[in-house]
Structure 1
Amino acid sequence: MKVIAYRNYGPPEVLKLEEREIPTPKKNEIRIKIYNTAVNSGDWRIRKADPKLAKLYFGIFKPKQPILGISIAGVVDSLGKDVTKFKIGDKVFGSTGMRLGAYAEYTCIPESSVILRLPEEISFSEGACLSFGGLTALDFIQKCNLQKNQTFIVYGASSSVGTAAIQLAKHFGAIVTAVCSQKNFDLVKSLGADFVMDYETFLSESHNKKYDVVFECVGKSSITSNLLHRSEGGVLVLVGASFKEMFQAAWISLTKGINIKFGPIAETLENLNILTELTRKGIYKVVIDKFFPLEAMAEAHRYVEAGHKKGNVAINIDND
């Protein structure tokens, strides 16, 4: 089978096409013939070991798992002897989690993974892109205990997590302001944003409004600037926080009693089910900016890392 592997940390060029044997599932695993995967910010950060401390988990001198990717959609084509939840031929989608391995034509994962059957209303590419941004946004919104008519501002609103956060916040009844480039105003409005503003306006002295939830998706604005717009008793969410920012946020929370949410999310089947139902009913839309073939993974990484994508970037995997 074809895989995209990286043997050293570095720029997109470390991603190389390789051939491997198709894996055999263990007794509790399903093997998925992958039709689509996606490239997200977590992928390129792992690839270049950003931050450097990530090497403590992913491999100090070289990657322990050379095949990146967590988002998958495809068809179950082989079962371990103890598998009971799935059958051969099931269309499935979801996340491989920290096992990674989605940049390949096939992968084996435990049947207990965050994987569901793919409804007819959702395409393989939508399924592959549904989990990362959607699960991230939903978990953080749940941690905020978002209430109806609360004010919610999304910084980086046209990103994968941002496009998900707009829709989910609106679904829970919030009044949503989207912060993004002017060229993406129409997109975020179409997803339900009540108000829009560009980055310069957000950072300007004239912007003195405060919000119940300040939701920073892309790690490109300072904690200080975001706290200026947090209402008394409100919540600041740092989706793309660096380790330095996490320590800073933890210190501020401890010493000043300010509610700041950050850190890894909890991927759950319950939340994937929520997203699936909303998507199936047309309430939630998976935004896909571009498609790349598996062989163009380096180009896809370069595009995503540049930080200008709208929603998600999907990868088509040719299994023929």
Structure 2
Amino acid sequence: MRAAVYRRFGSADVVSVEEIPTPKPGPEEVLIRVLASTVSAADHRARSHDIPKGLGLLAGVGLGFFQPRRRVLGMDAAGVVEAVGEKITRFTPGDEVIAMLGAKFGGHAEFARIGRDGPITAKPANLGFAESVALVFGGITARAFLNRTDIHPGTRVLVNGASGAVGTAAVQLATDLGAHVTAVCAARNAGLVTALGADRVIDYESSDFTTEPDTYDVIMDCVGNASFDRVQQLITPGGALLAVITDLNGLLRAKSRTRTSGKLVSASGVDCRTEDLRFLVGLAEQGGLRPVIDRSYDLSEIVAAHRFVDAGHKRGSVVLRIAGPA
């Protein structure tokens, strides 16, 4: 099969399309013929080893220290079930699915495997494969963090980094729950996040939201520059900081800050669940969650796709078309 492979850490140029063996599903695995994946910020960090401060050792355990442990990136996939193991009863060949491969990666290839207990479900009936896969990485991450606190009609939520894959999903999911959403992003993306449901937009290039008098029940940081020390005065009593991206200091001090402040500081990783994928699919089919795609690339254009993501200004998702129309 064709796959985008990297054998050392570095710039986008370390990735190339190669022929590698096609995986075979084990007894409890599903083999997906991948039609679309995304090139995410997580792929950028894994490939470049651009890791938040202090987390190099921890990241090395999962990604590798001197060379990649897993040579095919891609944390999500949309496609058609090619084959199933003998113990799989929930899927049959021909089923159209989406899956979150997570830290095992593997989506940037013509075929990918996932265990039967992994997050995989039928894709939205009203969306194509490219649109469907654009919901997965950002949607499952945003939902996992938002579920850690109580969001209801009238809750004031600020999403820092509202125009990225996680941010655009967070704006929509919070809006669906009835929250009043403030989006922090560049001015050029104000129209996008407003269309997704944001009630107010702060242009980070001209204003620093941390110096404004407004307070919020929940701050969701998708950028990594809104530490608890920097934003704690903006969080209402009993509120929450959801740190999607943080450094070692933020990770280690999250529990103690929660105890001493009475405000939830959540910085742990995402537990990817099938039930969350199903929720996203249902919401998408009802029109409450729409994919945001900045650009799409063919697998042969993988280097250009990585370069675009490396620039750090993508809106929503960058889709990678693996084979044929997606």
- TM-score between both structures, scaled by the size of structure 1: 0.94
Residues 194-225 of structure 1: CA deviation (Å, up to 9, x unaligned): 111111323474x1110101111111344333
Matched, 1:69 2:74: yes
CA distance in 2, matches of 1:119, 1:176: 26
Contact 2:79/2:96, CA 8 A, preserved across alignment: yes
Q: Which amino acid letter does the alignment assign opposite residue 88 of structure 2? A: V
SS of residue matched to 2:319? strand
CA shift, 1:123, in A, is 1.1
CA shift, 1:98, in A, is 2.3
Contact 2:238/2:262, CA 8 A, preserved across alignment: no
Structure 1 window deviating more from structure 2 (162-171 vs 77-86): it is: 77-86
Matched, 1:270 2:271: no
Partner of 2:237: 232
Correspondence 1:189-268 to 2 at 5 A: 189-199=194-204, 200-203=206-209, 205=211, 207-268=212-273
Correspondence 1:145-164 to 2 at 5 A: 145-164=150-169
Residues 24-73 of structure 1: CA deviation (Å, up to 9, x unaligned): 21122221111000011111111122322211222222112111111100
CA distance in 1, matches of 2:249, 2:41: 18
CA distance in 1, matches of 2:227, 2:267: 14
Contact 1:105/1:319, CA 8 A, preserved across alignment: no
CA distance in 2, matches of 1:26, 1:234: 45
Q: Which amino acid letter does the alignment assign opposite residue 280 of structure 1? A: E
- TM-score between both structures, scaled by the size of structure 2: 0.93
CA distance in 2, matches of 1:159, 1:268: 21
CA shift, 1:289, in A, is 0.7
CA distance in 2, matches of 1:87, 1:22: 19
Structure 1 unaligned spans of 5+: none
Cα RMSD (Å) of the superposition?
1.7
After superposition, the Cα gap between the structure-2 partners of 1:243 and 1:295, relative to the gap in structure 1 and judged at 3 Å, is farther
Matched, 1:96 2:101: yes
SS of residue matched to 2:147? helix
Correspondence 1:122-137 to 2 at 5 A: 122-137=127-142
Number of residues of Structure 1 aligned to a counterpart in Structure 2: 319
CA distance in 2, matches of 1:148, 1:14: 47
Partner of 1:296: 301
Runs of 4+ in 1 over 6 A off after TM superposition: none
Contact 1:203/1:225, CA 8 A, preserved across alignment: no
Partner of 2:40: 40
CA distance in 2, matches of 1:178, 1:236: 15
Contact 1:155/1:215, CA 8 A, preserved across alignment: yes
CA distance in 2, matches of 1:99, 1:132: 13
Contact 2:98/2:121, CA 8 A, preserved across alignment: yes
